Amino acid sequence: MKLLEANPYHNCDFGDKRLTNRAVLIAEVLKVKYGEPLSQIFQSASDLKRGYEFFSNPKTTFEKLTQPSFKQTSLEIYGIPIVLAVGDTTYLDYKKILEKRDDYGPTGNGGNGLILHKKSGIVQYQ
């Protein structure tokens, strides 16, 4: 089974259809070029600007962005007896960016930045 095959962002409700359409477009380009800088993901400066405007818009909250994919995932895994939810830890080290030093904390081994951690677990249906 392929999870999240359909683009769940069609179901985002930002109160503005244009924002929903932008979420769908951003998701499509991120799917193809995941992990690349935004400046390389978007084909034009105009698209990049619209992407930044989307991310900074107060209507595009984390909850509103993630709700449709959470719902789609729950529908797709419903009835599967065991689901593994695997996580990882990512270190963002800004030790070479001196102006960032005061804004972030230590990451170990003399680093300075952020530690991002995703939880993992097993969900078992009875």
pLDDT tens per residue across span 52-95: 999 999 999 999 998 998 888 888 888 888 887 776 777 777 77
Report the candidate in 102, 107, 106, 71 with the shortest Cα–Cα distance to residue 89: 107
pLDDT band at 126 (very low <50, low <70, confident <90, very high): very low
Which of these, 11, 50, 13, 14, lies nearest to 29 by C-alpha position?
50
Show the tokens assigned to 31.
Answer: 């799917």
Q: Model's pTM, two decimal places?
A: 0.59
User: Among residues 53, 74, 54, which one has the least CA distance to residue 64?
Assistant: 54
Q: Tell me the two tokens of residue 119.
A: 């939880």
At residue 6, φ and ψ (nearest 5 deg) are: -85, 150
Q: What is the pLDDT of residues 8-63, one digit of tens each?
A: 899 899 999 999 999 999 988 888 777 788 888 888 999 999 999 999 999 999 99
Distance CA 90, CA 60 (A): 24
